[in-house]
A and B are shown apart, each in its own frame.
Chain A
Amino acid sequence: MHIWDRFDEKISRVEQVLITILLTVMILMAFFQIVLRNFFDTGISWGDSLVRYLVVWVGFIGAAIATKEDKHINIDVVSRWLTGPQSNYIRLVSHFFSAVICSLLTLAALKFLRFEAQMGSTAFFKLPVWVPEIIIPVTFGLMTLRFTVRFIGEFARIRKNGFKQEFKEEK
């Protein structure tokens, strides 16, 4: 677990740097295109395509960070009223289910990437489209890992608490 935590810290830093750079480029590029279009009656032909892929990258990386920071949008009607052991079990189920679905999405994304590579179309700079699209399986894979680690952590906590309770009862 310790090794994973340190590894995940490194990934988080990469995510932070990427988000900052990509969003900055997105803002500047989108603005630059407006200036070119309105004042010089021209534009960068690959600019709009680049901005669109930047949105994909920023969105998926944002979703991966949301997984780490537990900030995904959800409806926690039940958990608002439940505290203590029951909420631990609910979290256990939630993390498990999320990890399974994210692993299936990773698989689907890999398949999608293979189709795109076979089609052989290009994005900007004659770059094959699958290159910028690689972010989709990467982030889904990362989300799978993060949900799995949180599931294991929750499982360990429940076991520890369970022992404590038995210990108390013996006393």
Chain B
Amino acid sequence: MTFLLIVIIAVALLLIGIPIFVVISGLTLYLFFSSQIDISAIIIEMHRMATTPVLVAIPLFTFAGYLLSESGAPKRLIRLSNALLGWLPGGLSVIALVTCAVFTALTGATGLTIIALGGILLPAMKRGRYSENFSLGLLTTSGTLGLLFPPSLPLIIYAIVAKVRIDHLFIAGILPGILLVVLLSAFSVYRSVRTDVPKTKFKFNEVGIAIKETLWELPLPVVVLGGIYSGYFAVSEAAAITAVYVLLAEVVIYRDIRLGQLPEIMKKSMVLVGGILIILGAAMGLTNYLIDAEIPMQLLDFFKTHIKNPILFLVVLNIFLLAIGCTMGIFSALVVVVPLFTPLAEAYGIDPIHLGIIFLANLEIGASIPPLGINLFIASMRFDKPVLQLYVASLPFIAILLLALAIITYLPWLSLALIG
């Protein structure tokens, strides 16, 4: 009874905006205290988590992502995709989707996509005579699109929390990620054809110039993915190579970023890293306590008596995760919910890697779902539009995303096909 009360208080504190790491630490401290475990155990767990070898990938990838976002890379990326896809009916909307996805994969689904790209893409779409609601809905739901592509932070964090192989998860995310982009693109093209949006002509010349311009950035995905896929280097090594490569490209070759700007970019990216690591660390203690108290086992018993069918289990899981993604946000949902559900899914015979992709796809989509999805609020702030208008604007896109989610959930092949 007291435990239930404490949980209710913790949730209330979370909702009024107290930092997540504070609430989780408070809950853990209370639990340790009441079961006479020394409180230094919470620091032991934090320290153990923070010195996990693979964790070095988080600061390195995050720094590289911030560096890219401050450089001219987004503009070059838009120019290249415009040269390649501008001739399509609805080409500009496809460009917006592709750049948002790439950008989110690199910067880790932290709201940066809408803030950094929204300002360029929304006026461009308006000039391209797309309707306002269509443009707003597309850019809002694209705020977390690309979360399934490596090296996005949520993928790394899921792998650490659920103790699955990062390289497998990286590869598993590719096809489902492409599915999301393709379905949204198809919908956008269909809408553009119907509303007769003007298109540009395809010019080989422009493609050549755009490729030449971005020549030093194009090999990056190949280096990262190819290296990991071939098993040539580990994920943390790929992160180090990415960081050095991006530094060389943006500071030395393109000279988009002056040396003097680096400390500020380093600080900005490490504030995010610190914010994430401290939540991860705090949650480690809580998770271990819950496992010792056999909470996942009790949860499993409860589920096993009420739900026999794995398909039904997946339906319940989807609804639950969409709600969590909409309210809790991606990072806190990952660290708190994942450890509770991994044993459950195993009991229903769901592959741990496939489960990871289901989890992340749900959280990605949940972030755009009314009334509380974080993308809606970031977009409302960035585009200076009422949240209610964004609710309406996002609905068609959310419908498409839910269709994709169903395919990803009930077709494990999509996630597992590329893993050898």
Contacts and interface: CB of A to CB of B under 8 A. Distances in A.
B39 A104 contact: yes
Contact of A72 (B20, B241, B244): B20
B15 A78 contact: yes
Contacts of A90: 16-17
A61 B271 CA distance: 8
Interface stretch (A3-11, A106-114, A160-168): A106-114
A58 B273 contact: yes
A95 B21 CA distance: 13
Contacts, number: 187
B21 A62 contact: no
B13 interface: yes
B332 A30 contact: no
A15 B15 CA distance: 30
B17 A78 contact: yes
B22 A65 contact: no
Secondary structure at chain A's binding surface: helix, strand, loop or mixed? helix
Contacts of B47: 56, 112, 133, 136
Contact of A52 (B22, B51, B243, B244): B51
A109 to B, nearest CB: 5
Q: What is the size category of the interface that chain A forms with chain B?
A: 35 or more
A66 B56 contact: no
Contact of A63 (B38, B237, B275): B275
A105 B53 contact: no
A23 B262 CA distance: 11
A143 to B, nearest CB: 9
B187 interface: no
Given A27-B244, A75-B332, A109 B43 contact: yes
Contacts of B279: 73
B263 interface: yes
Contacts of B221: none
A94 B51 CA distance: 30
Interface in A37-68: 48, 51-53, 55-56, 58-66
Contact of A58 (B26, B59, B332): B59
A46 to B, nearest CB: 14
Interface string A14-47: 0111011001101100110110000000000000
Contacts of B58: 55
Contacts of B43: 105, 108-109, 111-112, 136
A71 B60 CA distance: 20
A136 B49 CA distance: 13
Interface stretch (B191-199, B212-220, B323-331, B405-413): B323-331
Secondary structure at chain B's binding surface: helix, strand, loop or mixed? helix
Contacts of B14: 74-75
Nearest to A53: B51
A69 interface: yes
Contacts of A20: 262-263, 266-267
A73 B39 contact: no
Contact of B22 (A17, A97, A107): A97
B22 A101 contact: yes
A145 to B, nearest CB: 15
Contact of B17 (A23, A59, A74): A74
Interface residues of B, number: 60
Contacts of B241: 31, 34
A115 interface: yes
Contacts of B272: 62, 71
Contacts of A75: 14-15, 17, 20, 327-329, 332
B276 interface: yes
A62 B13 CA distance: 23
Interface in B2-27: 13-22, 25-26
Nearest to A29: B240
B274 A62 contact: yes
A98 interface: yes
A18 B43 CA distance: 22
Contacts of B243: 27, 30-31
Given A59-B50, A115-B40, A66 B263 contact: no
A119 to B, nearest CB: 11
Contacts of A169: none
A133 B56 CA distance: 17
Nearest to A28: B244
A65 B25 contact: no
15 contacts: A16-B267, A23-B59, A26-B59, A51-B56, A52-B55, A59-B274, A60-B278, A63-B21, A66-B274, A73-B276, A74-B18, A76-B16, A98-B19, A108-B39, A109-B43
* Those 7 A-B pairs whose CB atoms lie nearest each other, nearest first: A62-B274, A76-B17, A72-B19, A63-B274, A30-B240, A59-B277, A111-B40
Interface of B: 13-22, 25-26, 29, 38-40, 42-44, 46-47, 50-51, 53, 55-56, 58-60, 63, 233, 236-237, 239-241, 243-244, 247, 262-263, 266-267, 270-279, 327-329, 331-332, 372, 377
Interface of A: 15-17, 19-20, 23-24, 26-27, 30-31, 33-34, 48, 51-53, 55-56, 58-66, 69, 71-80, 90, 93-94, 97-98, 101-102, 104-105, 107-109, 111-112, 115, 133, 136
